[in-house]
Amino acid sequence: MRGFTPRQRLILALMATAVVVVFGLLAYTVTTTMRRLAALSPLPSPQEPASPLGAPTTRAEASPTEPTPSPTAVPTPTRAVPLSQIQSARAVHEVARILARVRDLPPVEQFPVSFPSEREIALYLLQRYGDLRPQEALGLYGLLGLVPRLDPLPLPDVTAQAARVFSLYVPAGRQILLVAGRGPATPDDELALVHTLAHALQDNAFLLGDGAEPPRVPLTAACRPTADAALARRALVEGDAVLTTARYAGVAADPQEVDRLARLAAGAEEPTYAPLSSVAAFEEIRLFPYRDGARFVAALDADGGWAAVNRAYAAPPCTTQEVLHPERYRDRRPPLEPAVPDLTAALGKGWKLVRRDTVGEFLVGLHLAAYLDDDGAARRAADGWAGDTFTLWEDGTGRQVIVWRLAWETRDEAVEFERAYHLLVPRFRTPPLVAADPKDLQKLLNLPATGLNGRGAFWSGPAGAACVQRTGRVVTVIWGPDLETVAAVTLVVP
């Protein structure tokens, strides 16, 4: 800085320092302002990811009066973005189109799609169950000791079920319901939608409803209206939907994945009851149409493809035995109906018949397994079932008599069931029943020496009485409030 006086050098130094300070303050002001704006303004909305349902992602068009914003780099979102209703409706139609090819059924041009709230789903389920009354089946399950006896019967917990539902098919109007505001669409949501659309395709092709309601074609004419036949028919419909979902997902060859899909579908579609939330046998009943139904339908498909499955809708299985053993479905042998006589004279005034039904192999096996130590032995003892007649009689005071006659395919199978049931009887009531000597019973009832000869084994106790007898291939089980009543019934049963 030659040529400058000391005073000039001082002025220049002060000016340079002032410039540095000014630019420093300016930089600080800009930085803090930008930080404050970032804190007060939300980040730009992240782009919606590609739909897991396979539908093209759509975005709202920009207003012609507004400038189109330039692309901005944004951070990766931490949560999936829910599908819009437009995206969801397009996804339904796209998945339905693909699914029709997978299932080899005629496609449906358009399904109306609605977006009810979770509360509206609960109200719909409440109305539906008011018509179908599924809780009435709990009465039979209670008599078999599969669930606690509940009086009055509980209503389905529609609130809990609605919380698990992502999609539903409504046969009236052939509508698809997608729960509004449920959250991001996940792979399991996609599979739930596939199962729902499988029911829609079934309804379009076979007019079957959704698998829970009575069929709207005369399928019921092929089978007697029994609890066993209802489970068997549902196994065809639900098993078909589960296998179709597994084919769509590419996991049909993986038994564990098929089982998982069955559990997902049952969890969404089957009614639940708060008192039965931890009852294992009830969970098995809920799963049967989905899990065992899928195995049954897979066996039909292995023999003749989807055409064989389609033919089954014209001749549905009428017994759970046919579902458990598809080879017996091919034989198409109708179940036997062992006769139960009118017990009015034997029981006396005030008694009346209040239930007549067929239990079937599946529930027989479950009934044995619930009270025996060996599940495998229980299932084997139920195998060979050829038919049964279950009757319940009541008097005006609440006393009950059960007469249950079961037919078996061979004498040896009848003997095997009889032995298994001898093990069950003492455990079935609380406190346990103990064996009764027929000779003591004859004296108690003032019967002749030959009165109860060959009439089977008897048990009694504070919780009631029972008798098990076998005649050839038919085993008769009698439960009653006391030995006298059971013995009186025994004398008139063939």
Segment 161-218, tens digit of pLDDT:
999 999 999 988 889 999 987 766 789 999 999 999 999 999 999 976 544 444 444 4
Q: What is the pLDDT of residues 269-310, one digit of tens each?
A: 999 999 999 999 999 999 999 999 999 999 999 999 999 999
Q: What is the pLDDT, as a whole number, of residue 4?
A: 55
**Model confidence at 25: pLDDT above 80:** no
Question: What separation in angstroms does the CA of 392 have from each of 152, 241, 480, 491?
Answer: 18, 35, 10, 17
Higher pLDDT, 380 or 439: 380
State the Cα–Cα distance between residues 257 and 107, nearest whole angstrom.
Answer: 26
**How large is the average pLDDT for residues 328-340?**
93
**Model confidence at 50: pLDDT above 50:** no
**Model confidence at 10: pLDDT above 80:** no
Q: What is the pLDDT, as a whole number, of residue 127?
A: 94
Looking at 66-80, 243-257, 358-372, 463-477, which range is the least confident one? Answer: 66-80
Q: Amino acid identity, residue 24?
A: G
Percent of the chain with pLDDT over 70: 77
State the Cα–Cα distance between residues 178 and 384, nearest whole angstrom.
Answer: 44
Residue 15 banded pLDDT, cuts 50, 70, 90: low
Residue 244 banded pLDDT, cuts 50, 70, 90: very high
pTM of the predicted protein model = 0.81
**How large is the average pLDDT for residues 382-401?**
96
**Model confidence at 79: pLDDT above 50:** no
**Model confidence at 328: pLDDT above 50:** yes
DSSP 8-state secondary structure symbol assigned to residue 20: H
Looking at 205-209, 358-362, 471-475, which range is the least confident one? Answer: 205-209
DSSP 8-state secondary structure symbol assigned to residue 287: H
Question: What separation in angstroms does the CA of 331 have from each of 240, 292, 326, 423?
Answer: 21, 19, 9, 33
Mean per-residue pLDDT of the chain: 83
Q: What is the pLDDT, as a whole number, of residue 316?
A: 94
Question: What separation in angstroms does the CA of 146 have from each of 181, 281, 303, 320, 423?
Answer: 38, 6, 35, 17, 17
Largest CA-CA distance found in the chain, in angstroms, rounded? 149
Fold adopted by 344-490: Protein Transport Mog1p; Chain A (3.40.1000)
Outline which parts of the chain fall under CATH 3.40.1000.70. Answer: 344-490
Q: What is the pLDDT, as a whole number, of residue 3?
A: 56
Q: What is the pLDDT of residues 87-128, one digit of tens each?
A: 888 889 999 999 999 999 999 888 899 999 999 999 999 999
**How large is the average pLDDT for residues 68-89?**
57
Higher pLDDT, 20 or 324: 324
Contact 451, 442 (CB under 8 A): yes
**How large is the average pLDDT for residues 15-41?**
43
Q: What is the pLDDT, as a whole number, of residue 6?
A: 59
Non-local (6+) Cβ contacts of 176 within 8 A are 92, 111, 112, 113, 114, 167, 168, 169, 170, 196, 197, 200
Higher pLDDT, 50 or 170: 170
